[in-house]
Amino acid sequence: MKTQAIKKPAHTFTVRPNLPNYEAARARFSWADVYKDLDGLPGGVGLNIAHEAVDRHADGPLRDCVAIRWLSPDDTVREFTYAHLKRLTNRFANLLKTLDIQRGDRICTLCDRIPDLYIAALGTFKYGGVFCPLFSAFGPEPVFQRLSRSRAAVLITTERLFALKVAGFRHRLPHLKYVLLTDADRHVGPDTLSLPRLFDGASDRFSIPPTDPNDMAILHFTSGTTGFPKGAVHVHDAVRVHYITGKYVLDLRPGDIFWCTADPGWVTGTAYGIIAPLVCGVTSIVDGGDFDAGRWFRILESQKVTVWYTAPTAIRRLMRTASEALRQHDLSRLRHICSVGEPLAADAVRWGSDVLGHPIHDTWWQTENGGIMIANYPSAEIRPGSMGLPLPGIEAAIVRKPDGKTAEVVTEPDVTGHLALRSGWPSMFRGYLGENEKYAKSFSGDWYLSGDLARRDADGYFWFVGRGDDIIKTSGHMVGPFEVESVLTEHPAVAEAGVIGLPDPMLGERVAAFVSLRPGMTPDAALHRDILGFARKRLGPAVAPREIVFQEILPKNRAGKVMRRLLKARRLGLPQGDTSTPE
Ligand code: ATP
Ligand code: MG
């Protein structure tokens, strides 16, 4: 490796010898080869996510291996082997046929993380339908928006959620042919049916019809952090990325117990909470319960989780909990930890080493990307605070995009610019539902523009700077909120921080911080002064916040991301825009 232009990371970690070396994997990688590792449908009739995830294991040596181990909120356990999952998903595909659902129709789910959600997703892929998961915590308006924009043909939900969130506008959804209730033991009306009854009546034999890799498979709404959620369209070919990232980034191998904590209501919960672990033939833990630090540590221990994929919002909450209590748990089975969703500060990476016994590997990607694009690999040195290196087969770059002109690649290191990906990877979104212009605008020449700003260091590691929309321009400086937030959270009293720019007659914008404190801290003037001083010393007066507001809870969306646009709108008394996604 070349010498680093940036400051040497505080921690470096040794390369694990049993994984393909990153450089070597990158040099010999070809997307076409990934097809060879996958099975393809019998008779060469295409590629289907559910075949790769379920049927090929069900028909092979992994048939009796547990595919999904589901933990209910009250700790009952249900296990589904690959063979069992094949039969259940066949039944689901058959019941769609009985209901005369067409290939390409949208099948939406609105339920907690219950087994039916997972069976419906995989059964939909088999049938050739389009799976569209919605968060069960959405209120009626966001549910209506998504059902109507996706023109859902089928909705799978529970009696309670239906009554609470759908019944009131059912008549305004002419495309919705059926509502299938997971907990009704008899049909409620001609188009409101009991899912268990349909299951009972369906055959468990089904053969997956020819599936073109470019057939639509998933419709996923973005998290709505920066504006109204967009519906990203994905195809079956995405499974090549799920497989290869499962292997190279998550280091999944048969025998692993993998736990992805994300809800399928956001893309990580679908790509890595459903598809990738099954494609890689491991046992996937699905926790039906909500976040609770003690419960999560109990799950890691009792389920003997080996690979864990979680998010900074959860990690920050765990860090807030007393580390001593956590140390009591036996996490010796844990081998590898990854994070996604927001920037992962360097101190969180190190907290992983200290408390969990393993550093946390940050990964970067978006709903639009369909799978992990940039990561700190288990087979390469971690740079704490960085997003890592591009996936083999993915070309990532920092580009300059002068308005109206085509993007040009910045070759010199450590320059902040637009983070772009060379278009054409298998899991790339194929459109924003009903928003062609917005889709076209996210490309410039060959490049997909992520909307995030980043820099690349001399060794090719990418460092997140901020979302394009969140960048603060203060007295001629460009300040990324993440940089300021990660310094603030290093102050011992600070739990979480959200940083925004406020209009300022002198500076253009001034940096303002919203801060929540660790338990037991008093939000008084002395602490305020202390945090300001700490930030100024670390960041310099130009970048440090000019004001700090103590706030017990920061607004977040369902994916757990701090919603800076809401902090700003509330502070300035402006309309809050789309508020369908806050927690
Ligand atoms: P919307 O597009 O509706 O505003 P969103 O961008 O939050 O919502 P997602 O697709 O779920 O929706 O999230 C992708 C975004 O999350 C990225 O563009 C980036 O800003 C942020 N992100 C994800 N992973 C990381 C990471 N490892 N480091 C920094 N930011 C990340
Ligand atoms: Mg986005």
Give pLDDT tens digits for 226-272.
777 899 999 999 999 999 999 999 999 989 999 999 999 989 999 99
Query: Who wins on pLDDT, 316 or 8?
Result: 316
Q: Whose CA is nearest to atom 12 of ligand 1?
A: 223
- Whether the predicted pLDDT of 10 surpasses 50: no
Residue 140 located in a structural domain: yes
Q: Whose CA is nearest to atom 14 of ligand 1?
A: 366
In the numeric block, the tokens 């070349």 are attached to 2
Q: Are residues 91 and 215 in the same domain?
A: yes
Residue 282 located in a structural domain: yes
| Mutation pick for ligand 1 pocket among 337, 367, 419 (CB with most ligand atoms within 8 Å) | 367
Instruction: Place 582 in a pLDDT band, splitting at 50, 70 and 90.
Output: low
The whole-number pLDDT of residue 476 equals: 76
Residue 8 located in a structural domain: no
Residue 11 located in a structural domain: no
Ligand 1 pocket list (CB less than 6 A): 222-227, 229-230, 266-267, 340-343, 362-364, 366-367, 387, 450-452, 464, 467, 559, 561
Q: Are residues 345 and 260 in the same domain?
A: yes
Q: Are residues 446 and 479 in the same domain?
A: no
The whole-number pLDDT of residue 20 equals: 66
Q: Are residues 479 and 535 in the same domain?
A: yes
- Whether the predicted pLDDT of 273 surpasses 90: yes
- Whether the predicted pLDDT of 382 surpasses 70: yes
φ/ψ (deg, to 5) at 38:
-85, 175
- Whether the predicted pLDDT of 388 surpasses 80: yes
DSSP string, 534-551: HHHHHH-TTTS-SEEEE-
Query: In this structure, are residues 427 and 225 in contact, taking their beta carbons and an 8 Å threshold?
Result: no
Q: Are residues 430 and 513 in the same domain?
A: no
Question: What is d(CA 513, CA 521) in angstroms, rounded to the nearest whole number?
Answer: 17
Q: Are residues 537 and 389 in the same domain?
A: no
Burial class (CB in 10 A: 0-12, 13-18, 19+), 524: exposed
Question: What is d(CA 120, CA 93) in angstroms, rounded to the nearest whole number?
Answer: 8
Query: In this structure, are residues 124 and 153 in contact, taking their beta carbons and an 8 Å threshold?
Result: no
As given in the structure block, the two tokens for residue 306 are 């080996």
Q: What is the CATH number of the domain that holds 169?
A: 3.40.50.12780
Residue 577 located in a structural domain: no
Q: Which atom of ligand 1 is nearest to the CA of 232?
A: 10
Residue 10 located in a structural domain: no
The whole-number pLDDT of residue 15 equals: 41
What separation in Å is there between the alpha carbon of 192 and the centre of ligand 2? 35
Question: What is d(CA 98, CA 201) in angstroms, rounded to the nearest whole number?
Answer: 10
Ligand 2 ion local residues (Cβ < 5 A):
222
What ipTM does this complex have? 0.99
Average pLDDT over residues 189-203: 97
DSSP state of 210: P
Q: Are residues 192 and 262 in the same domain?
A: yes
Question: What is d(CA 336, CA 339) in angstroms, rounded to the nearest whole number?
Answer: 11
Nearest ligand to the C-alpha atom of residue 485: 1
Domain stop point among 453, 487, 519? 453
Domain enclosing residue 161, as ranges: 31-453
Domain stop point among 391, 426, 453? 453
Query: In this structure, are residues 305 and 333 in contact, taking their beta carbons and an 8 Å threshold?
Result: yes
Question: What is d(CA 355, CA 321) in angstroms, rounded to the nearest whole number?
Answer: 11
As given in the structure block, the two tokens for residue 472 are 């603060």
Q: Are residues 432 and 530 in the same domain?
A: no
Q: Are residues 439 and 560 in the same domain?
A: no
Query: In this structure, are residues 450 and 421 in contact, taking their beta carbons and an 8 Å threshold?
Result: yes
Chain-wide mean pLDDT for the chain?
91
Question: What is d(CA 8, CA 148) in angstroms, rounded to the nearest whole number?
Answer: 51
Residue 65 located in a structural domain: yes
Domain stop point among 419, 453, 487? 453
What separation in Å is there between the alpha carbon of 316 and the centre of ligand 2? 22
Q: Are residues 541 and 428 in the same domain?
A: no
- Whether the predicted pLDDT of 11 surpasses 50: no
Q: What is the CATH number of the domain that holds 562?
A: 3.30.300.30
The whole-number pLDDT of residue 256 equals: 96
Residue 541 located in a structural domain: yes
What separation in Å is there between the alpha carbon of 501 and the centre of ligand 2? 20
Q: Are residues 62 and 109 in the same domain?
A: yes
Average pLDDT over residues 423-440: 96
The whole-number pLDDT of residue 581 equals: 63
What separation in Å is there between the alpha carbon of 211 and the centre of ligand 1? 30
Over residues 494-538, the pLDDT tens digits come to 999 999 999 998 888 999 999 999 989 999 999 999 999 999 998
| Mutation pick for ligand 1 pocket among 366, 465, 563 (CB with most ligand atoms within 8 Å) | 366
**Strand pairing class (472-474; 477-479):** antiparallel
What separation in Å is there between the alpha carbon of 450 and the centre of ligand 2? 8
Chain length of the chain? 583
- Whether the predicted pLDDT of 288 surpasses 50: yes
The whole-number pLDDT of residue 322 equals: 65
Over residues 52-84, the pLDDT tens digits come to 999 999 999 999 999 999 999 998 999 999 999
How many structural domains is the chain composed of?
2
The whole-number pLDDT of residue 106 equals: 98
Q: Are residues 295 and 392 in the same domain?
A: yes
Q: Whose CA is nearest to atom 27 of ligand 1?
A: 364
Instruction: Place 404 in a pLDDT band, splitting at 50, 70 and 90.
Output: confident
Query: In this structure, are residues 315 and 360 in contact, taking their beta carbons and an 8 Å threshold?
Result: yes
- Whether the predicted pLDDT of 17 surpasses 70: no
What separation in Å is there between the alpha carbon of 501 and the centre of ligand 1? 19
Over residues 550-573, the pLDDT tens digits come to 999 999 887 788 899 899 999 988
Q: Whose CA is nearest to atom 31 of ligand 1?
A: 342
The whole-number pLDDT of residue 583 equals: 58
Its sign, for the CA torsion 330, 334, 338, 341, is: negative
Question: What is d(CA 536, CA 129) in angstroms, rounded to the nearest whole number?
Answer: 54
Over residues 140-152, the pLDDT tens digits come to 888 999 999 999 9
What separation in Å is there between the alpha carbon of 343 and the centre of ligand 1? 9
